[in-house]
Structure 1
Amino acid sequence: MNLDNKFTALQLAIINNEAALYTCACPVHISMQITNLRKLFDYQKTCMELPPENDVQMQVHQRIADVTKQAHQLMEQCLEDILDLEGWDMNKLEMPAGIRTRIKKIDAT
């Protein structure tokens, strides 16, 4: 069992970096959830590769993996929808100029 990824880890990092430059945290929050779901799914796969102590243990890991896979698909679709709604350049993964607002640096002087 594997996850079907719409976005690679590199693409998620690019989206995070682009959004971090500007006051646009929503794509970053969704991207972080996708990354966490991938980690949870991989953990469950590792657990399922070990000899189970009992049938219930295997069922628990399988259930978590199944639901994680569903949540991952929903969150990836959500991220794709958000980027589309905001008008991101999907080839370069750049935020459109019209919604860019640079984060102002605090002057310590």
Structure 2
Amino acid sequence: MIQAVLRLVAPVDKRDEILQVLSGLSGPTEASKGCRCCRVLCDANDKHVITYWVQLETSEDLQAHLRSERFQMLLPYIDMSLEPPEVEVSRLDAIGGMDFIVSAIRAQRG
């Protein structure tokens, strides 16, 4: 699985517009081939920090997403960031869910 995370700092007067555009594109992105999830997140400590987070099955799916018209529509909004946008692309290997957490807690007590 591939994970891509984009963090930007929205200008005060553009925050709501950026959120609206990102949120409007997350549903169609989730419906696209290979997408496991697409989320738009707001930072609890700074309401102007917005994170766009997408998980896709393969790097080919990510490349297709980046070339899509949906993603191309985001580029002007990314350019509005008050700080250089932060981008991180990672390959993820599943290590577990709740069972992993329970196992880690039990190992600490043992």
Same fold (TM over 0.5): no
Question: TM-score of the superposition, structure 2-length normalised?
Answer: 0.33
Question: TM-score of the superposition, structure 1-length normalised?
Answer: 0.33
Greater percentage in strand: 2
Greater percentage in helix: 1
Structure number, greater radius of gyration? 1
